[in-house]
């Protein structure tokens, strides 16, 4: 009966990060001691003051349908947050609250992309970007930047791919999967180039904004003439360890915000009411409330860097943000595993490491890169040390 499925759903792949997590759970259910570095989720718990706000919302009977775009009080809070943290002047009417930043991005893509429109995707990119574009019948135009370029594209690299059909530029900073961050100077160069192409909309995915290590986050929309064409996406999942609350938001030009409101109204309606009330409390707090968590991630980043450096043949950088490593593993491709299986691609390697050494990673192919795998260091130091040991043993077993 799969022949009855739409071409649309058959044209996209299952999210590889979620697929690898599923495979890990299946092995664990069989009693296998699997360590998973595949999922992008903080292992910290939601701060208590936010949990108390959620509990109060339940007691105060916030249990009825909310406005599609979000509670007015939350949209006002987000407007103030944008001004306080990013120097962005989005009015509450330009803000849409959604069931996670993932839905925020999908709302924009579905609202502006027509069949055949092209979307510039600096790669490595987050696993869902390209398939979201395909769902809208758009065409992903992948612009790859290697580890030697710190995984960042330049304005010139982007401009080479622009055609009359180019409609969107979609990027994340700090980046998932690389942890790379675009500097103010780099974004200024891209913004200056885009002045020659007034019909290109920008989506800036800033979900990892508060998770950076000595490098200041900068928002594209704060540059001259950019807020009129830039959608800034953020959420609560990463910085406040609220992945299960499913709460994201965007600030956008009014015409895009209105379109997203219209689209969301036909798909999910408003986001969870309890999460919205908790989000007000989270976003009203000083961003320094996440300092301890970020410091913990930095310790892990530095430790993992030391351990990865001990693996001969692997190539790494020092990511300035998020909680991922994206090591280049080209030196280990076109080899054979302990049972003679051929390791030709990062996907082959990830599956080999999972099945034989019980460590879950994610193939770089899911992120537009056939040279790397992604490791999340959002786990305890002891777990990470054992995980990198398993990785080292797995890589060194290849002949």
Q: For residue range 330-363, list pLDDT tens digits in order.
A: 999 999 999 899 999 999 999 999 999 999 999 9
Give 298-330 pLDDT, tens digit per residue.
999 999 999 999 999 999 999 999 999 999 999
Q: Which of 25-39, 44-58, 61-75, 365-379 has the lowest mean pLDDT?
A: 25-39
Rounded to a whole number of angstroms, the distance between the first and last alpha carbons of the chain is 43
Q: CA 241, CA 224: separation in Å to the nearest integer?
A: 33
Q: Of 268, 285, 302, which residue sits at a domain end?
A: 285
The verdict on 273 and 150 lying in the same domain is yes
Mark whether 53 and 28 lie in a shared domain.
no
The answer to whether the beta carbons of residues 327 and 315 sit under 8 Å apart is: yes
pLDDT of 26 over the 90 cut? no
Q: What is the reported pLDDT for 352?
A: 94
Going by C-beta distance under 8 Å and a sequence separation of 6 or more, which residues neighbour residue 63?
A: 273
pLDDT band at 24 (very low <50, low <70, confident <90, very high): confident
pLDDT per residue over 62-92, tens digit each? 999 999 999 999 999 999 999 999 999 999 9
Give the pLDDT confidence score for residue 29 in this predicted structure: 86
In sequence order, what are the residues at sequence separation of 6 or more whose Cβ sits closer than 8 angstroms to the Cβ of residue 389?
A: 307
Q: Are residues 330 and 204 in the same domain?
A: no
Q: Are 112 and 201 in contact (CB under 8 A)?
A: yes
Query: In angstroms, rounded to a whole number, what is the distance separating the alpha carbons of residues 195 and 293?
Result: 39
Is there a single domain that holds both residue 116 and residue 16? no
Q: What is the DSSP string of 145-174?
A: --GGGTT---HHHHHTT--TTEEEEEEESS
The CATH number of the domain holding residue 40 is 3.90.1150.10
- Give the domain CATH number at 196: 3.40.640.10
| Statement to judge: residues 107 and 254 lie in one domain | yes
Together in a domain, 97 and 241? yes
Task: State pLDDT tens for residues 100-134.
Answer: 999 999 999 999 999 999 999 999 999 999 999 99
> Does residue 198 carry a pLDDT above 80?
yes
Whether residue 358 sits in one domain with residue 256 = no
Q: Cis peptide before 124, with omega less than 30 degrees from 0?
A: yes
Could you tell me if 52 and 40 lie in one domain?
no
Q: How far apart are CA 271 and CA 100, in angstroms?
A: 8
- List all residues 6 or more positions away from 323 whose beta carbon is below 8 Å from its beta carbon: 40, 42, 179, 211, 297, 300, 301, 376, 377, 378
pLDDT over 90 (residue 284): yes
Q: Are strands 139-144 and 166-172 parallel, antiparallel or unpaired?
A: unpaired
Q: What is the mean pLDDT of the chain?
A: 96
Structure tokens belonging to residue 337: 């595993």
Q: Identify the band that residue 19 occupies on the pLDDT scale cut at 50, 70 and 90.
A: confident
In the predicted structure, residue 259 carries a pLDDT above the cut 90: yes
* Domain final position from 262, 285, 308: 285
Query: pLDDT tens, 137-162?
Result: 999 999 999 999 999 999 999 999 99
* H/E element, 234: strand 230-235
Judgement on whether residues 158 and 264 belong to the same structural domain of the protein:
yes
Counted domains in the chain: 2
Residues 119, 30 share a domain = no
What pLDDT digit, counting tens, does each position of 215-237 carry? 999 999 999 999 999 999 999 99
3-state SS record for 134-145 = HHCCCEEEEEEC
Phi/psi at 120 (nearest 5 deg)? -75, 125
Q: Are residues 307 and 280 in the same domain?
A: no
Query: Nearest to residue 68, comparing CAs of 97, 94, 107, 109?
Result: 97
Distance (Å, whole) CA 69 – CA 57: 18
pLDDT of 17 strictly over 80:
no
Asked whether the whole model's pTM tops 0.85, one would answer: yes
Contacts of 288 (CB under 8 A, 6+ apart): none
| Token couple for 100 | 């996670």
- pLDDT at 14 exceeding the cut of 90: no
Residues 260, 166 share a domain: yes
More confident residue, 4 or 275: 275
Domain that holds residue 304: 2-45+290-396
Among candidate residues 250, 285, 320, the one where a domain is terminated: 285
* Structural contact between residues 222 and 236, judged by C-beta atoms closer than 8 angstroms: no
């Amino acid at each position: 009966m799969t022949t009855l499925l739409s071409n649309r759903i058959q044209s996209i792949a299952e999210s590889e990060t979620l697929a690898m997590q599923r495979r890990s759970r299946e092995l664990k259910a069989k009693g296998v001691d699997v360590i998973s570095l595949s999922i992008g989720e903080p292992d910290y718990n939601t701060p208590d003051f936010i949990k108390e706000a959620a509990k109060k919302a339940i007691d105060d009977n916030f249990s009825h349908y909310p406005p599609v775009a979000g509670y007015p009080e939350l949209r006002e809070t987000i407007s103030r947050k944008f001004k306080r943290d990013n120097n962005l002047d989005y009015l509450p009417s330009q803000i849409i609250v959604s069931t996670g930043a993932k839905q925020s991005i999908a709302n924009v893509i579905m609202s502006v992309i027509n069949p055949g429109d092209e979307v510039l995707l600096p790669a490595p990119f987050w696993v869902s970007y390209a398939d979201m574009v395909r769902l809208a019948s758009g065409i992903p135009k992948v612009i790859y930047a290697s580890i030697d370029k710190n995984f960042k594209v330049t304005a010139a690299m982007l401009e080479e791919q622009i055609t009359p059909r180019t409609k969107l530029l979609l990027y994340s900073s700090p980046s998932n999967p690389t942890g790379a961050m675009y500097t103010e100077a780099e974004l200024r160069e891209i913004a200056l180039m885009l002045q020659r192409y007034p019909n290109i909309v920008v989506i800036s995915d800033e979900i990892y904004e508060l998770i950076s290590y000595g490098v200041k986050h900068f928002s594209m929309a704060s540059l001259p003439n950019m807020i009129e064409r830039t959608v800034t996406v953020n959420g609560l999942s990463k910085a406040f360890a609220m992945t299960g609350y499913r709460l994201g938001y965007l600030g956008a030009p009014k015409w895009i915000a209105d379109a997203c409101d219209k689209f969301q109204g036909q798909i999910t309606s408003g986001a969870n009411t309890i999460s919205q009330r908790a989000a007000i409390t989270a976003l009203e707090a000083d961003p320094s409330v996440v300092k301890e968590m970020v410091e913990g991630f930095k310790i892990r980043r530095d430790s993992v860097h030391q351990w990865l450096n001990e693996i001969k043949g692997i190539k790494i950088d020092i990511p300035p943000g998020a909680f991922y490593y994206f090591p280049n593993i080209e030196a280990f491709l076109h080899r054979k595993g302990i049972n003679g299986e051929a390791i030709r691609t990062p996907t082959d390697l990830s599956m080999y490491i999972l099945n034989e050494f019980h460590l879950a990673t994610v193939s770089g192919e899911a992120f537009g890169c056939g040279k790397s795998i992604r490791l999340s260091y959002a786990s305890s130091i002891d777990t990470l040390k054992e995980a990198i040991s398993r990785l080292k043993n797995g890589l060194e077993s290849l002949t």
